[in-house]
């Protein structure tokens, strides 16, 4: 398949305003791909060179891409920069300058999509001395032989910002249509995806082995399993009722979720984040402990990594734990802020898949596998049969500086990639009004007015994720909680992903000054969830009027982007409705005499 053809499909995707339309375009494109093209084509459409857990980042710096464009088109660097200032999209700049190139286009055969992919991979992997120049040269050569439209997507791909707004669920639905002609096979594909987190492999298996291959998908070491997520309930009574009168209650550690894959024979350990990114190099002490402090030859277990002060017995806040991710000097940090991993689940042991075993059996095995009191420890838990036991345990952990509890259904299997009531969290802040925060996806932004005009940033339009529809539904505008630095940072980040019109997966009634591809998640605090005719979150009819949910007095907290969450991991519409109902219940109880 020629890259030119792919670029044309991408252009169509950018122009489409419905999600179903998007799926049709993707289906048509995937149908045309040969077996060996499927994997690169899927990664490319995700804007990646490999699945996220392989850690092959593309993200070439803007300055560097500008230089390549200058070389490929014969314009000066200043001219490229000037055009970029105008378009706000270096891909479009490349396209326009290629169309009016001062140089003769190098004549060559047309590119195969795979060739572009391989060459981009090579550019990304070039490192060491002189690598900057080599990257500029390689990218310039690629651009010099490409058409203007191809250049648009090559540059965007190189920057790590395709701006297509295609999500994992969208690709899975398209693959389902490729396989069966309808979208209903998606669930089976999703199950396979949940245990390997690699859409490229799913696509490849599908074309090579058909649906049988997908149905027989098994857990394998070093391919991360998509994490199980917790539902929430506000009281111990409701939790126990939901769990059928008996459940496990674990401490909820507010750290960084880590999935640890260990193979003792090759001494290989990999640690993956909740978003399935490779965290291995960030946690050298956990890598060592995973080999030294566990039993068995091969295992996958999950836990929460958190800084813990041995002397005071206090847990450190999440922000301190993730400093590691931001700062270099992991070595020093591991001495200054030693981490512990509190293990709470076992997913694979000595070649055996544990996902379908009941929680209690997985936990018993985990207790056998992890016995020490070193860097890796077991998450603390009790078995409760009364609400009083749950409440007592809750008060106890909160007084130790933890966030709350996670109740677990003793009989439930590990449900990868889904938020289900087999895990229920109850956090410190749930009691009373809406003091819990929500995680929202930025879908647009406003330019500033008054004193904010100088930043070119005045606030955000934010959405929740409707996982049933795979759509982002707006819930609020946010203009409060930003420092000047944050405004500058947001402006810079959002400019890179702004798009001309409302992305197909965004459902909105209001127009921001600029739309952006749903990509960044922020944490927001609000006073209350209310109903509003302006927003599309959970929109339904009430007394003949269409209303959605909205936030009252929203403000951004936590200092910026939640790097550990993807847009599909933001708070869901369903959760907002549940929170709204819980809030109403609390109010009613409060008002009672
Ligand atoms: P939340 O991020 O508020 O949805 O809460 C779920 C998260 O709590 C999980 O993704 C884990 O990172 C974290 N967590 C902490 N302790 C536990 C535990 N004992 N069991 C499960 N998850 C836990």
pLDDT in tens, 524-545: 998 889 999 899 999 999 888 8
Q: What is the mean pLDDT of residues 170-193?
A: 90
The residue with greater pLDDT, 105 or 422, is: 422
pLDDT 10s digits, 403-449: 899 999 999 999 999 889 999 999 876 444 445 789 999 999 998 77
272-299 CB burial, b ≥16 within 10 A, e <16: bbbbbbbbbebbebbbebbeebbebebb
Instruction: Please check the confidence at residue 1 and state whether its pLDDT lies above 50.
Output: yes
First to last CA, the chain: 72
pLDDT computed for residue 214 by the predictor: 93
Q: What is the dihedral of CA 410, 416, 419, 420, to 10 degrees?
A: -30
pLDDT 10s digits, 114-146: 999 999 999 999 989 999 999 999 999 999 999
pTM above 0.95, yes or no: no
Q: What does each C-alpha distance from 323 to 318, 379, 396, 450 come to in angstroms?
A: 9, 23, 27, 35
Instruction: Please check the confidence at residue 388 and state whether its pLDDT lies above 70.
Output: yes
The residue with greater pLDDT, 565 or 38, is: 38
pLDDT computed for residue 331 by the predictor: 59
In the beta sheet, which residues pair with residue 349? 299, 352
Gap between the Cα atoms of 537 and 449, Å rounded? 27
Which residue in 39, 177, 223, 252 is the catalytic one? 252
Burial class (CB in 10 A: 0-12, 13-18, 19+), 257: middle
* Residue among 564, 577, 462 nearest 227 (CA): 564
> Active site includes 252?
yes
Query: How far is CA 436 from its chain centroid?
Result: 21
Tokens of 325: 């991710």
Domains of the chain: 3-159 (1.10.3260.10), 229-426 (3.30.470.30), 438-591 (2.40.50.140)
Q: Determine whether the shortest distance from the Cβ of 274 to ligand 1 is under 6 A.
A: yes
Q: What is the mean pLDDT of residues 231-240?
A: 92
pLDDT 10s digits, 13-49: 999 999 999 999 999 999 999 999 999 999 999 999 9
pLDDT computed for residue 52 by the predictor: 84
Gap between the Cα atoms of 134 and 325, Å rounded? 28
What average pLDDT does the structure give for the chain?
90
Poorest-pLDDT segment among 203-217, 426-440, 452-466: 426-440
Contact 466, 472 (CB under 8 A): yes
- pLDDT category, 330, cuts 50, 70, 90? low
* % residues pLDDT > 90 (the chain): 70
Residue 252 CA to ligand 1 center (angstroms) comes to 6
Q: Give the best-scoring range by mean pLDDT among 71-85, 209-223, 483-497.
A: 71-85
pLDDT computed for residue 590 by the predictor: 45
pLDDT computed for residue 323 by the predictor: 64
Residue 428 CA to ligand 1 center (angstroms) comes to 13
Q: What is the mean pLDDT of residues 58-67?
A: 92
Contact 426, 404 (CB under 8 A): yes
Half-sphere exposure of 484 (CA within 13 A, CB side): 4
Contacts of 329 (CB under 8 A, 6+ apart): none
Half-sphere exposure of 33 (CA within 13 A, CB side): 30
In the beta sheet, which residues pair with residue 408? 248, 423
* Residue among 516, 479, 520, 521 nearest 496 (CA): 516
Residue 582 CA to ligand 1 center (angstroms) comes to 21
Gap between the Cα atoms of 96 and 80, Å rounded? 10
The residue with greater pLDDT, 436 or 295, is: 295
pLDDT computed for residue 329 by the predictor: 59
Residue 486 CA to ligand 1 center (angstroms) comes to 28
pLDDT computed for residue 322 by the predictor: 66
Please state, as a whole number, how many other Cβ atoms lie within 10 Å of the Cβ of residue 324: 21
Name the DSSP class of 526: -
Closest atom, ligand 1, to C-alpha of 419? 4
Q: What is the mean pLDDT of residues 194-222?
A: 92
**Residue among 226, 228, 230 whose CB has most ligand 1 atoms within 8 A, to mutate:** 230
Q: What is the mean pLDDT of residues 237-249?
A: 97
Gap between the Cα atoms of 282 and 563, Å rounded? 15
Look-up of token digits 């076992």: 346
pLDDT computed for residue 46 by the predictor: 94
In the beta sheet, which residues pair with residue 477? 461
pLDDT computed for residue 551 by the predictor: 93
Tokens of 416: 């990868």
Burial class (CB in 10 A: 0-12, 13-18, 19+), 248: buried
Please state, as a whole number, how many other Cβ atoms lie within 10 Å of the Cβ of residue 489: 17
* % residues pLDDT > 70 (the chain): 92
429-441 CB burial, b ≥16 within 10 A, e <16: ebeeebebbbbbb
pLDDT computed for residue 237 by the predictor: 95
Poorest-pLDDT segment among 11-25, 174-188, 340-354, 359-373: 174-188
Tokens of 199: 């859409």
pLDDT computed for residue 559 by the predictor: 77
Gap between the Cα atoms of 46 and 60, Å rounded? 16
Instruction: Please check the confidence at residue 325 and state whether its pLDDT lies above 60.
Output: no
Closest atom, ligand 1, to C-alpha of 250? 19
- pLDDT category, 366, cuts 50, 70, 90? very high
Q: What is the mean pLDDT of residues 76-90?
A: 95
Q: What is the mean pLDDT of residues 471-487?
A: 91
Instruction: Please check the confidence at residue 345 and state whether its pLDDT lies above 80.
Output: yes
Which protein residue's CA is at the shortest distance from atom 17 of ligand 1?
252
353: left (phi over 0), alpha (psi -120 to 50) or beta: beta
Burial class (CB in 10 A: 0-12, 13-18, 19+), 234: buried
230: left (phi over 0), alpha (psi -120 to 50) or beta: beta
Gap between the Cα atoms of 184 and 180, Å rounded? 8
Q: What is the mean pLDDT of residues 211-231?
A: 93
pLDDT computed for residue 593 by the predictor: 41
Which protein residue's CA is at the shortest distance from atom 4 of ligand 1?
230
Gap between the Cα atoms of 385 and 230, Å rounded? 20
The residue with greater pLDDT, 86 or 182, is: 86
Q: What does each C-alpha distance from 132 to 64, 123, 236 come to in angstroms?
A: 8, 10, 57
Which protein residue's CA is at the shortest distance from atom 8 of ligand 1?
252
560-580 CB burial, b ≥16 within 10 A, e <16: bbbebbbbbbbbbbbbbbebb
Gap between the Cα atoms of 32 and 583, Å rounded? 51
Contact 555, 480 (CB under 8 A): yes
Q: Determine whether the shortest distance from the Cβ of 569 to ligand 1 is under 6 A.
A: no
Q: What is the mean pLDDT of residues 313-318?
A: 70
- pLDDT category, 563, cuts 50, 70, 90? confident
Tokens of 213: 């291959």
Instruction: Please check the confidence at residue 309 and state whether its pLDDT lies above 90.
Output: no
Instruction: Please check the confidence at residue 105 and state whether its pLDDT lies above 80.
Output: no
Report the length, in residues, of the chain. 593
Contacts of 544 (CB under 8 A, 6+ apart): none
The residue with greater pLDDT, 281 or 107, is: 281
Q: Determine whether the shortest distance from the Cβ of 419 to ligand 1 is under 6 A.
A: no
Burial class (CB in 10 A: 0-12, 13-18, 19+), 411: middle
87: left (phi over 0), alpha (psi -120 to 50) or beta: alpha
Contact 390, 239 (CB under 8 A): yes
Q: What is the mean pLDDT of residues 391-413?
A: 91
Query: How far is CA 394 from its chain centroid?
Result: 29
């Amino acid at each position: 398949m020629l890259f030119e053809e792919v670029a044309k499909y991408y252009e169509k995707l950018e122009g489409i305003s419905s999600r179903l339309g998007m799926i049709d375009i993707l289906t048509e494109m995937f149908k045309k791909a040969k077996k060996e093209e499927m994997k690169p084509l899927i990664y490319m459409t995700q804007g990646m060179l490999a699945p996220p857990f392989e850690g092959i980042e593309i993200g070439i710096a803007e300055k560097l891409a500008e230089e390549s464009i200058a070389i490929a088109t014969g314009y000066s660097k200043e001219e490229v920069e000037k055009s970029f200032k105008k378009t706000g999209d270096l891909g479009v700049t490349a396209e326009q300058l290629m169309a009016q190139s001062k140089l003769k286009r190098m004549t060559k055969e047309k590119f195969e999509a795979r060739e572009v992919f391989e060459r981009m991979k090579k550019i990304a992997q070039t490192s060491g001395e002189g690598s900057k120049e080599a990257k500029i040269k390689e990218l310039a050569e690629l651009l010099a032989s490409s058409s203007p439209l191809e250049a648009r997507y090559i540059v965007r791909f190189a920057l790590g910002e395709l701006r297509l707004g295609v999500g994992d669920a969208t690709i899975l639905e398209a693959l389902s249509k490729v396989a069966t002609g309808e979208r209903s096979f998606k669930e089976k594909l999703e199950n396979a995806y949940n245990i390997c987190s690699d859409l490229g492999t799913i696509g490849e298996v599908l074309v090579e082995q058909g649906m049988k291959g997908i149905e027989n998908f098994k857990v394998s070491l070093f391919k991360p399993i998509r994490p199980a997520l917790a539902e929430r309930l506000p009281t111990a009574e409701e939790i126990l009722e939901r769990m059928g009168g008996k459940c496990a209650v674990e401490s909820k550690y507010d750290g960084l979720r880590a999935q640890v894959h260990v193979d003792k024979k090759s001494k290989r350990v990999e640690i993956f984040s909740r978003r399935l990114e490779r965290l291995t190099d960030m946690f050298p002490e956990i890598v060592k402990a995973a080999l030294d402090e566990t039993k068995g030859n091969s295992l996958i277990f999950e836990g929460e990594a958190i800084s813990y002060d041995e002397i005071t017995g206090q847990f450190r806040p999440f922000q301190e734990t993730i400093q590691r991710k931001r700062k270099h000097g992991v070595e020093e940090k591991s001495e200054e802020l030693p981490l512990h991993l509190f293990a709470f689940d076992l997913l694979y042991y000595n070649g055996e898949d544990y996902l379908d075993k009941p929680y209690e059996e997985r936990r018993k095995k985990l207790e056998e596998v992890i016995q020490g009191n070193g860097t890796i420890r077991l998450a603390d838990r009790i078995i409760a049969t009364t609400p009083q036991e749950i409440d007592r345990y809750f008060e106890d952990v909160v007084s130790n500086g933890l966030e709350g509890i996670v109740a677990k259904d003793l009989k439930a299997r590990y449900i990868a990639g889904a938020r289900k009531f087999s895990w229920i969290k109850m956090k410190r802040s749930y009691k009373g009004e809406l003091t819990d925060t929500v995680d929202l996806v930025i879908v647009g932004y406003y330019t500033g007015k008054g004193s904010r005009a100088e930043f070119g940033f005045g606030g955000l339009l934010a959405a929740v994720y409707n996982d049933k529809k795979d759509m982002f539904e707006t819930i609020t505008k946010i203009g409060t909680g930003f420092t000047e630095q944050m405004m500058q940072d947001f402006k810079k980040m959002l400019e890179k992903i702004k798009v001309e019109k409302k992305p197909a997966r965004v459902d909105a009634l209001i127009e921001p000054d600029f739309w952006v591809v749903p990509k960044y998640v922020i944490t927001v605090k609000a006073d209350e969830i209310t109903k509003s005719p302006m927003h599309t979150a959970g929109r339904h009819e009430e007394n003949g009027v269409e209303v959605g949910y909205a936030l009252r007095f929203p403000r951004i907290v936590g200092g910026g982007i939640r790097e550990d969450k993807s847009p599909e991991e933001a708070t869901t519409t369903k959760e907002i409705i549940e929170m709204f109902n819980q809030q109403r219940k609390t109010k009613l109880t409060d008002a009672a005499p």
